[in-house]
Structure 1
């Protein structure tokens, strides 16, 4: 994992947990925006992803959780307020963690969590249950399903580290992992939380996320649905608006904690 220092006096740290199949380099724009606004940033690649990734994802979800625990620990080293930001499956992993145990942080920011997927591998229901755990499944999530930002289409053609092929065993574990988070009867520790939802998400269903959020009974939360935006809200043509909304949330939390922003 890597750390980027804030430009000028830091006011907080943001730990970024990326989505399935991708890598932290896709967040270069967001990382620079955060640094310019006075935030340290820590990020890296989930096991089996990025430059050290595999051709077929078969990592255990426990390995993902262990990695995110280490990422959070690095974020806490500066003794500054910490915000944990998760996107897609990254958000779901953090949700899983905070249901089980309190994380000492100032707030959470989730975008497009994976609790139920709209986009399934071809012939998912009919075929997946018949496949052995080692057989491969192509989730077939293309860049065109993730964002309307045409500038990123060119970059995606040269991205050798994005890969949406997994084993059938991994995909079955994904389904169980999402179900466990969505149906968990307990609640998280009362911590400020912002959830971004894509109004035109081709990948994830937002309804379970909204239900999950209401169930938490938090004293401070924001739920923002971005009309027309696709799944990767921080990659969309409107990403500046999404970022400003996020920065405002973090600054408000810092003020409530007594920090001068």
Structure 2
């Protein structure tokens, strides 16, 4: 787990949970934008992800390990004694939704980007058949960098990133399917705290309609849904990311004002 602290008086602490296959270094731009906007940031790599695990050939870690990691990150954030915001992307967003009701930590707001509730980019039908077998199989979930963003600068930076691995076991894939199914079928997944959910109009990885439909089922007093025109899956990597960040920043500031913090 890493911490990035603002040099000015902090307004809040933000816990970031990344998506499947990637790692925290892909969030360097977002981390610096948040830090320079007077927020502390807590983030690490999900178990089995990142440079410390780049020798691993495939993802076979339990989803319970992911959930425990999120709880540990929250414990780090609590030590600051500041309002806490949770920011989850892709699979990280779905994992956050799954654990929110079980957290013993108070948090001010939630930002979810491109949650994995229904995938558009799936392994092949043959792979799906293999996943149902009891025999362990290797599965290639072929999500390429150019499926995630149309930002050529980001593409050049990470095109040879050997820490980005999409080889998984069928047990891992079955856990993923179970996670998405249980979240989608729950009509009260999220505690009643302010929530911002954002998707990209041209997301190649997930079905954004499923995200909008899920949000409408939740019993929330305050929420926002924003679909960004022309954007791909990784919103904070897209050419429009300055505008997307400004929208997110406005949401955080509004929540802080509503709970009595001077912004």
> Normalising by structure 1, what TM-score?
0.96
2:123, 2:141 within 8 Å by CA — same for their partners in 1?
yes
How well do the aligned residues superpose, as a CA RMSD in angstroms?
A: 1.5
Alignment of 1:114-125 (within 5 A): 114-124=116-126
**Residue 153 of structure 1, CA deviation:** 1.7
Moved more, 46-55 or 238-247: 46-55
- Deviations, residues 121-162 of structure 1 (Å, cap 9, x unaligned): 123565334544521100010000000001122222331110
In structure 1, distance between residues paired with 2:101 and 2:232: 27
Alignment of 1:27-176 (within 5 A): 27-53=27-53, 54-101=56-103, 103-124=105-126, 127-129=129-131, 131-176=133-178
Query: CA 1:129 to 1:187, structure 2 compared with 1: closer, same or farther past 3 Å?
Result: closer
In structure 1, distance between residues paired with 2:210 and 2:97: 13
1:118, 1:202 within 8 Å by CA — same for their partners in 2?
yes
In structure 1, distance between residues paired with 2:47 and 2:130: 24
In structure 1, distance between residues paired with 2:244 and 2:128: 38
Matched, 1:245 2:247: yes
1:34, 1:40 within 8 Å by CA — same for their partners in 2?
yes
In structure 1, distance between residues paired with 2:167 and 2:175: 14
- Deviations, residues 231-250 of structure 1 (Å, cap 9, x unaligned): 00000000001100000000
2:98, 2:189 within 8 Å by CA — same for their partners in 1?
no
Residue ranges of structure 2 left out of the alignment (5+ in a row): none
SS of equivalent residue, structure 1 residue 234: helix
Match of 1:216 in 2: 218
- Deviations, residues 203-238 of structure 1 (Å, cap 9, x unaligned): 011122212211112111110000110000000000
- Deviations, residues 42-98 of structure 1 (Å, cap 9, x unaligned): 000000000122210001001100000101111111000000000000000000012
Q: What number of residue pairs does the alignment pair up?
A: 261
1:99, 1:186 within 8 Å by CA — same for their partners in 2?
no
**Residue 99 of structure 1, CA deviation:** 4.1
Query: CA 1:187 to 1:130, structure 2 compared with 1: closer, same or farther past 3 Å?
Result: closer
**Residue 102 of structure 1, CA deviation:** 6.1
Residue ranges of structure 1 left out of the alignment (5+ in a row): none
